[in-house]
């Protein structure tokens, strides 16, 4: 920390505030959550406009997946915060009697949150909610790829929240790199695995713990014994919301061969029902974030059997909902996370073959199964390792704050949402309180055979 740059100044201001202790109180945490609630409700339209500018999101999508999501997260957090902050009493073994033991959650200190661009408001402010609820000072760096949302948060946060404890630094790689040189007490990063590795390496210099909310290829298995029409409707919603730029969107389908034709037809009907027959001009269909990602996604279609969609509009950066049938497993569309509106459909001869396929690959952020069969439902829960599993739907686990959200293996480490977010941004300090009354002497020197005998009995 040699230079006194604006980033270093912001960091030091937060550190000093944390030392004063004001962020530890329930009153401060509650006031900040309420301020964030006001920030969102009083500026709902401005957020919708920014999200439309960054990603072409419709008003409804902006509210459901970003602003409404955050408001319900704040409501849940406010409702339970007092309880979460309480020490948890645990039992004390006989060797430490008389005594009492408890676990006291305490804030970590000054934390860094690095946001991603696909849900630029939700993915920046949901970790903020958890960090503030846990009593930390927090510095947010939103993604530079969603500039309108980033600018809006940077202008609103200081107007509503406690500027001594909370700060927003806008910028890209350079600013992120400078932030990563600072000794934060925790880094919460959302984005791809390439930058995730950079974040983790930088954090190691200060032994800073990290939460990495990454992505991966989330599979979606369609059993022949399922309600194909409802499955198709839910898959269309999950895959093509935000034009597929969702970390937990189904990345590819594994469909039992006997129902492929019927399922494809249902997908087509459902796409028309949700986005019309000209999705490229639908007000409910988002655009690709920038030209680089647009070109990357268009590249996935080369030399593939495109059986649905495939139309693109360069001027508006839109790519229609697209299905690619049985792509080569070694082609980029099956090797990389798609993160866009292209859906590979691989035919399998059985659900078992689908499970084997998934288990041979890196652990995904989410795994989906549509099936009536209890045995198959049990099998995915018991055998498939993934951040989250959802049976007979996609992405809906996000709506339950009682469920942790986070990856495993290559899809990330750590978790948040509800109490899990509070815990991520807290240290669970163990406390033991002894009494002066009654001091068993067996642990003190000089040792003796009798003391050893008693210790063996007690431990
Ligand atoms: P991105 O490019 O917006 O990067 C994320 C953040 O990292 C940004 O704030 C960016 O400024 C910063 N960054 C970029 N280069 C950096 C560098 N060299 N050093 C330090 N910081 C740097 O996001 P992305 O990687 O394009 O996001 C897409 C990925 O994120 C996908 O893999 C997706 O699955 C994943 N994702 C995961 C979640 C989740 O909650 N698990 C949510 C959204 C996206």
Under 8 Å between Cβ of 344 and 333:
yes
Q: Token pair of 246, please? A: 């969702």
| Ligand 1 near 191 CB (within 6 A) | yes
Residue 360 CA to residue 233 CA, distance in Å, equals 28
pLDDT of residue 402: 96
At 73, which CATH number? Answer: 3.40.605.10
pLDDT of 1 > 70? The answer is: no
423 and 325 within one domain: no
DSSP state of 66: I
| Ligand 1 near 282 CB (within 6 A) | no
Q: How many CB atoms lie within 10 A of CB 60?
A: 12
91 and 15 within one domain: yes
159 and 191 within one domain: yes
Q: Considering its fold, how many domains does the chain have in total?
A: 2
pLDDT of residue 2: 54
60 and 147 within one domain: yes
Nearest to 361 by CA among 334, 382, 399, 397: 334
Mean pLDDT of 314-343: 97
Residue 354 CA to residue 359 CA, distance in Å, equals 9
371 and 233 within one domain: yes
DSSP state of 169: -
- Please indicate, yes or no, if residue 436 is contained in any of the structural domains: no
CA 214 from chain center: how many Å?
A: 7
pLDDT of 439 > 90? The answer is: no
Mean pLDDT of 220-232: 98
Tell me if residue 123 falls in helix, strand or coil: helix
Centre of ligand 1 to C-alpha 115, Å, is: 7
Centre of ligand 1 to C-alpha 116, Å, is: 5
Tell the residue number behind the tokens 């028309």, with chain if given: 272
- Per residue in 127-182, pLDDT tens? 999 999 999 999 999 999 999 999 999 999 999 999 999 999 999 999 999 999 99
Centre of ligand 1 to C-alpha 195, Å, is: 7
156 and 130 within one domain: yes
Under 8 Å between Cβ of 407 and 216:
yes
Residue 49: domain span: 6-214+411-431
275 and 144 within one domain: no
pLDDT range class, residue 223, cuts 50, 70, 90? very high
Mean pLDDT of 359-379: 98
Residue 81 CA to residue 351 CA, distance in Å, equals 43
**315 CB contacts (<8 Å, ≥6 apart)?**
none
pLDDT range class, residue 438, cuts 50, 70, 90? confident
213 an active-site residue?
yes
324 and 357 within one domain: yes
What pairs with residue 139 in β-bridges?
112, 167
| Ligand 1 near 114 CB (within 6 A) | yes
200 and 283 within one domain: no
254 and 132 within one domain: no
CA distances from 258 to 222, 254, 357, 380 (A): 11, 12, 18, 21
- Per residue in 257-266, pLDDT tens? 999 999 999 9
- Per residue in 58-79, pLDDT tens? 999 999 999 999 999 999 999 9
| Ligand 1 near 289 CB (within 6 A) | no
pLDDT of residue 457: 86
| Ligand 1 near 198 CB (within 6 A) | yes
Residue 408 CA to residue 146 CA, distance in Å, equals 27
pLDDT of residue 226: 98
Which atom of ligand 1 is nearest the CA belonging to 115?
9
DSSP state of 360: T
- Per residue in 264-312, pLDDT tens? 999 999 999 999 999 999 999 999 999 999 999 999 999 999 999 999 9
- Per residue in 84-105, pLDDT tens? 999 999 999 988 999 999 999 9
300 and 184 within one domain: no
- Please indicate, yes or no, if residue 73 is contained in any of the structural domains: yes
278 and 173 within one domain: no
Residue 86 CA to residue 101 CA, distance in Å, equals 13
């Amino acid at each position: 920390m040699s230079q006194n740059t604006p980033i270093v100044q912001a960091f030091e201001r937060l550190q000093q505030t944390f030392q004063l202790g004001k962020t530890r109180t329930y009153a401060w945490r509650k006031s900040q959550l309420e301020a964030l609630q006001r920030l969102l409700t009083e500026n709902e339209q401005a957020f919708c406009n920014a999200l439309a500018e960054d990603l072409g999101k419709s008003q409804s999508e902006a509210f459901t997946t970003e602003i409404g999501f955050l408001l319900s997260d704040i409501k849940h957090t406010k409702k339970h915060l007092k309880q979460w902050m309480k020490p948890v009493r645990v039992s004390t073994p006989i060797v430490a009697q008389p005594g009492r033991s408890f676990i006291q959650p305490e804030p970590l200190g000054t934390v860094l949150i690095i946001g991603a661009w696909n849900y630029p408001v939700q993915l920046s402010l949901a970790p903020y909610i958890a960090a503030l609820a846990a009593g930390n000072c927090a510095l947010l760096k939103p993604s530079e790829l969603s500039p309108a949302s980033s600018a809006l948060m940077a202008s609103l946060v200081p107007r509503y929240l406690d500027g001594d404890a909370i700060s927003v630094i806008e910028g890209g790689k350079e600013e992120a790199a400078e932030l990563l040189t600072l000794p934060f007490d925790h880094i919460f990063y959302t984005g791809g695995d390439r930058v995730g590795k950079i974040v983790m390496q930088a954090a190691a210099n200060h032994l800073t713990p990290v939460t990495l909310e990454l992505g991966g290829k989330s599979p979606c298995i369609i059993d022949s014994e399922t309600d194909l029409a409802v499955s198709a409707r839910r898959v269309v919603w999950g895959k093509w919301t935000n034009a597929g730029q969702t970390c937990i969107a189904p990345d590819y389908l594994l469909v039992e061969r006997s129902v492929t034709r019927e399922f494809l037809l249902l997908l087509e009907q459902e796409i028309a029902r949700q986005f019309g027959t000209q999705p490229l001009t639908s007000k409910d269909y988002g655009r690709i974030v920038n030209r680089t990602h647009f070109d990357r996604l268009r590249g996935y279609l080369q030399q593939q059997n495109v059986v649905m969609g495939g139309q693109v509009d360069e001027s508006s950066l839109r790519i229609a909902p697209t299905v690619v049938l049985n792509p080569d497993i070694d082609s980029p569309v099956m090797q990389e996370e798609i993160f866009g509106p292209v859906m590979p459909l691989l035919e399998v001869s059985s659900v078992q073959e689908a499970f084997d396929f998934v288990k041979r690959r890196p652990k995904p952020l989410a795994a989906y199964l549509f099936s009536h069969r209890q045995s198959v439902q049990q099998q995915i829960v018991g055998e498939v390792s993934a951040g989250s599993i959802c049976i007979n739907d996609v992405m809906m686990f996000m709506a339950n704050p009682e469920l942790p959200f986070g990856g495993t293996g290559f899809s990330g480490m750590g978790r948040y949402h509800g109490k899990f977010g509070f815990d991520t941004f807290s240290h669970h300090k163990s406390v033991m309180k002894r009494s002066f009354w009654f001091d068993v002497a067996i642990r003190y020197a000089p040792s003796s055979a009798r003391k050893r005998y008693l210790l063996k009995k007690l431990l």
